[in-house]
Amino acid sequence: MQGICKKRADSEKYGGLEEREGKMEYYFVRVVGEGAFSKVYLARTGTGRLCACKVSAEKEMLKKEADLLGELYHPLFPAYLDYEEQGGKGMLAMEYIRGENMARMLMRRRGFCAEQTLRFAAELADGLRYLHHRQPAVLYRDLKPENVMVCQDGHLKLIDLGCACRLGEEKSCMAGTVGFAPPEQLKMGRAAGIYSDVYGLGRTVQSMLGERERDVKEKNTYHKRLKRLMDGCLCEDPGQRFPDMIGVMGALMGKRAKEKDVICEKNIWESHYKNACSLPPI
């Protein structure tokens, strides 16, 4: 990968990646995120386009994430741009998302209202349904507010596919975040499944509501749907949860859903995602 920095002297500061001829240029601006095994930079290409660059010494892990992201075409996920390796590190370049991390947003508010929470939950559920309907199915395995971006138009993007895996690829592997991951993901020898992402969605919805979670006991239609959603997502026993995102969408719509009833990614591209999604006041 060429030109991660404008000057070679800056290469150590910005991920240890130097210029190389014949590749796209990337100029790092600042760090915008940091995890246990990687850093994410706001970067600019040689043509002036802004992008996000994830840099990690765990090349095999990052390459797996890049390969998966490159296969996805759904508005919930950032667009893949490039993957390169150099100097013992890998770099995944992807769409830069203009918006705010949901976890930071929730630190400032009591939580989202029921109507907005339902709208956000529907967007997440549709994107997860898209993953689960791939062949083989893809499990996200790390749904939490920290991995959700609220864009400037009010819609969501789900970032960081570092924990994602294809169904059957990792039959017994601890993954996810305590407090959001289901029991079967946090104990060795227990297999994750589509029902695991169902649980993660329920926990994330709980966090979206924040202090407003107590309001789901009210006799409001939106609150009833949210209560049904969480009741069907947060069972300790995977067999007692909604089996898939079709069941989740049914709870969100207030009825038993069938495959033909739920929003598909084509419809989202052509209608829902063309319209701005305003955040209601807290």
Measured over the CA atoms of residue 255, residue 260, residue 265 and residue 266, the dihedral's sign is negative
Are 37 and 162 contained in the same domain?
no
**Measured distance CA(5)–CA(188) in Å, rounded:** 42
pLDDT tens across 66-105, in order? 999 999 999 999 999 999 998 899 999 999 999 999 999 9
Q: How would you write 263-277 as a 3-class SS string? A: CCHHHHHHCHHHCCC
Domain assignment of residue 1, yes or no: no
Residue pair 235/229 in contact by the 8 Å Cβ criterion: no
**Measured distance CA(159)–CA(149) in Å, rounded:** 7
Residue 118 domain boundaries: 99-274
Nearest to 25 by CA among 98, 77, 95, 91: 91
- Where residue 25 sits, what CATH number does that domain have? 3.30.200.20
pLDDT tens across 206-216, in order? 999 987 776 66
Beta carbons within 8 Å of 98's beta carbon, 6+ residues apart: 151, 152
Domain assignment of residue 268, yes or no: yes
Domain assignment of residue 3, yes or no: no
Residues classed as catalytic: 142
Domain assignment of residue 282, yes or no: no
pLDDT tens across 44-72, in order? 998 899 999 999 999 999 999 999 999 99
Are 21 and 132 contained in the same domain?
no
pLDDT tens across 222-270, in order? 888 999 999 999 999 999 999 999 999 999 988 665 555 554 444 444 4
Tokens (6 digits) for 69: 């992201």
Helix axes 194-209, 245-253, angle to 10 degrees: 30
